[in-house]
A and B are shown apart, each in its own frame.
Chain A
Amino acid sequence: MSFLLDTDICSAQMKADRRVHSRFIQYGGQLHISVVTLGELFAWVGRAKASPRRSQTLFDLLKAAE
């Protein structure tokens, strides 16, 4: 089974929601992100005054999903 992650769920992982993180670990390798969600997340990362840590965190997430 595969899971298509939406923007809220991706954000929850990066905001330290442990229930979401637990599911991410459980279903690792079966997680996918759509280009629409990617667009929203990159728009957030690309905002003015955003720290480099913000984009690094997103790239880390993308290593864990497809």
Chain B
Amino acid sequence: MATLHGVIHGKTIELEREPGLPEGQRIAVEVRPLDEPPAWLERFVVDPTVRLGKFVIKGTRLLVDDLVHLVDEGRSDEDLRQTHPELSAADVDAVRNYARVPEGMRRSFGGWAEDAEELDEYLDWTRQQRKQRRQEIQE
């Protein structure tokens, strides 16, 4: 029995090397996520000059959320690249991967970016309050 690494694309797993088994061999697969952050996320950057707290495709001003919306509408890779010629194949793959991330996780990213300074002040205040109450209890 061998352990092989690969990448999931929907119902298909693309292995990094040949498994060394005959074509048509039935197998059982136990899927376990590797302890690695998603490499495709490197295609995205946060650019405040486009929109504060939201991803754009690296080297462009294209908002990732807008592209995810197109993917959700069923647009093909070819269609996306025709509409936006500045997109590479890796960019489109990254957008497709991001479209599979739960919507709540995508939408919450950067939702408080505009309030970041006020939020930091609030968090500092709550920390001070906790510290003060601990001291009061201990005394």
Contact = CB atoms under 8 A, between A and B. Distances in A.
Contacts of B101: 25, 28
A14 B52 CA distance: 12
Interface residues of B, number: 29
Assign chain A's interface to a size class: 20 to 34
B69 to A, nearest CB: 16
A26 B33 contact: yes
Contacts of A59: 104
B37 A26 contact: yes
B109 A13 contact: yes
Interface of B: 33, 35-38, 41, 44, 46, 52-54, 101-105, 107-113, 115-116, 119, 122-123, 126
Given A15-B53, A26-B37, 14 more contacts: A7-B123, A14-B109, A14-B111, A14-B112, A15-B110, A25-B37, A26-B33, A54-B112, A59-B104, A60-B105, A61-B104, A61-B108, A64-B105, A64-B108
